[in-house]
Structures are given as structure tokens and as C-alpha cells.
Amino acid sequence: MAEHFDLEEIRARLANPHDVARRLGLLEGSRRQAHGLLVRCPAHADRTASCSLTTGPDGTLRVRCFACDLAGAIFDLLAAVEGLDRGRDFHELVKRAAELASLDPEGCTPRVSLPRRVPAPRKDPPLPEETFAAVIAPLLHIGRLDAGVVAADVCGYLARRGLLEAARADGWAALPVPEFQPSWSAMLLDAAEPVAGYAPPFSAEDVRRSGLLARDGFAHPENRLCIPWRDPAGRVVNLQRRRLDAGEPRYAGARGRGFAWPYGIERIAHASDETPLAFCEGAIDVLALRAACAARGDSAVVLGVPGISGWRASWAALARGRAAIVAFDADDAGDRVVARLAAELADAGALCVERWRPPGAKDWAEAWVAGAIERVAA
């Protein structure tokens, strides 16, 4: 007879982030965050804790990795740990989740937990940074934000926010609409083929391992605004892509690649040692806050954090000997972490720490569009 499980009971029992991480063997290298836990993502070769486990408003587990496309709930996390397909192997996932929750079928009565299965082997490690930079260079070139049809709506999105020229200066690009993306991925694979007198800087296998592609084109095809994140030397080490609408996921990085540096880190090398550092949320807010500083006559190197939970404590050392500004969003989440970040920045040697709030808006991009930049609420 087929087994039947109460899915709501399973979700209710597997809702505590720390308890779930313990049961799945994900505590090693984990870090606490404001409302849960950051663990090493089981969906890719994660060297740092980049996968957020929180309890959602409905009391169930919420999962989101900031370095790959893993997102969802307990069954999505379990599928990544076990190396199973959430759709094809869902019944097996439910059985495994019931084991973790110590439940029997039918009535879902508690029982003794069964031994945990050995997790599936991790996938290939991410490409070396110089190889990844070589793979995406053609995309950034042919997708540049010019007057062409490919980037027209992306350019319009940025122009309406007054950020198009700043995005062009930072090397942002666009993917075509989804129906034309397979031809671009095929172009990348073609560019990897050597010809007489030319040895390409990457291989077809490198393209496949770049974390950009899915089976029939680019992963997350609706995420068409391409934002290159760089290292201190200016080399592109991740490609974050944003949707232009309100769909999810709003942002998607290259699968298997984290954010080792905040956005804009390459500008520190060209700034004086006295120039303050301002930390805000996301690359679009970086462009807006740079514009705000220029409009006000302020001097600051603006750095973008890939979401509040993407902050790395090691980044506090960047502010050693400088004034530091925490310019996170004007919302509860942003306000809650200010004290912790201020303490980390001070401990790392920041001369002083200020809190800037975007005036009259949730974030700096909204404030810039609203024309409220002359006022910066401290």
C-alpha cells in the first residue's frame, strides 16, 4: 500500500533553521543571521555560508542561496542535499522529510529517526576567476548598453531611474529576450572552439561550468540586466542578473559563484586613504548613492552588499582608518543590522561610523528617482 504523509505536519516539524541544519549535517561553517542561519549551500561547492535558512511568516522554512539559484522551502533544500529532482523524485523527498521529522505514514505519528543518507557528491568546483572572466567577456561586449534592439528595454529601465550612463560606465550589459538566448549560449560554445592561428582563452567545458547556462540556454532567462561584480583588481568574478519586472528570483548570480567582494571594490585603489566608505544594498543602489554623493558634493567610495545576509564580517576591515557609513535600506531589516555592522566596523578600525537613510524612500534608487537626494537622513 502506498504511504501517505501529512505535508503540513512535515513542514511544521521542519521549520526551525538551526534544527534542520543540524539534522542535515549543514552546521559546519554556518553563521547566525538576524532571523535564522547561513549555511554552506548543498547545491554547489560553497566555500562560505551563502545559503539563508529562515522561518517565514507562515511558520515554515524558507531557503535562499545568494550564490546560486537554490530557493524555496524544506523540500527544495532536501533535494539539494540528497541530489534528487524535486519534481521527479517528490515522493522520495516526502518520505525522506518524514524520516527527518521522525514521522510515520498515514497518521504521521512520531517515531525514531532513521539514519541519514549520505549526501550526493558535490558538483564541480567553480571556474577559476580568470577563466570565468574570459567566458563572460563576449556577453558583456555584445550585450553592451548601446542603442541596439537587444538592450532597448534594459536601457529604458535604467534611463527612467537616471542611472543609464553610470551603468554603461561600469560595464553593465543585457541579455536578449528569452527566445533569442539559445543562440547566444551557442555563440559562447562556438567561441570556445579553436581555429587555425587562434587558441580561445576558455573551453566549451568552461562555458558549461560557468554557472550561467541551463539545459536550453541561460538559467533564469527573464533575468536580463547583467551586472558584473569585480575583485579589487577590476576583474569580473561574478555576473549578477536582475529581472526588470516584479517576478522571482529578482536577482540571480552565476550558479556556484559567491560574492567574495562588495560591488565597487575596485574603486578603493583610486581613492585617497581619507575617503569614507559607504555600504549600501545592491549594485543599483550603489549607482544611485554615487549620484547622490556627487549631487551633494560628498566624497565617498560606495560599496554594494548582495543583500543584508550577504554581508561578510571580513569586509569591515576595508574601512580601517576611514570613516564608515552604513547606508542600508530604510526598513526594519536594514535598521536591525546597523548596530551589529557598526560594532564590526569599529572593531576593525573604522574612525567613525554613521547611519545614512535614503530620504523619503525605502532605498537609494527610489530616493534618486523621487529627486529627494539633497536630503540625506542620518
Rounded to an integer, what distance in angstroms lies between the CA atom of residue 24 and that of residue 20? 6
Q: How far is CA 101 from the centre of its chain?
A: 30
Q: Which 8-state DSSP code applies to residue 63?
A: E
Q: Tell me the pTM.
A: 0.69
Query: Tens of pLDDT along 190-232?
Result: 999 988 888 999 999 999 999 999 877 899 999 999 999 999 9
Q: Using pLDDT thresholds of 50, 70 and 90, give the confidence band for residue 268.
A: very high
Contact 309, 67 (CB under 8 A): no
Domain boundaries, the chain: 7-100, 129-252, 265-370
CB within 8 A of 96, min separation 6: which ones? 78, 82, 117
Homologous superfamily of the 129-252 domain (CATH):
DNA primase, catalytic core, N-terminal domain (3.90.980.10)
CB within 8 A of 16, min separation 6: which ones? 55, 61
Three cell numbers, residue 196: 587555425
Lowest mean pLDDT among 105-109, 259-263, 269-273, 313-317: 105-109
Rounded to an integer, what distance in angstroms lies between the CA atom of residue 347 and that of residue 350? 7
Is 299 a residue whose pLDDT tops 80? yes
Q: Which fold has domain 265-370?
A: Dna Topoisomerase Vi A Subunit; Chain: A, domain 2 (3.40.1360)
Rounded to an integer, what distance in angstroms lies between the CA atom of residue 98 and that of residue 9? 9
Measure the N-to-C terminal CA separation of the chain; round to a whole number of Å: 65
| Residue-level pLDDT at 136 | 95
Contact 154, 174 (CB under 8 A): yes
Is 374 a residue whose pLDDT tops 70? no
Is 110 a residue whose pLDDT tops 50? no
Rounded to an integer, what distance in angstroms lies between the CA atom of residue 51 and that of residue 306? 12
| Residue-level pLDDT at 192 | 92
Options 3.30.1360.10, 1.25.40.10, 3.10.310.30, 3.90.580.10; CATH for 7-100 is 3.90.580.10
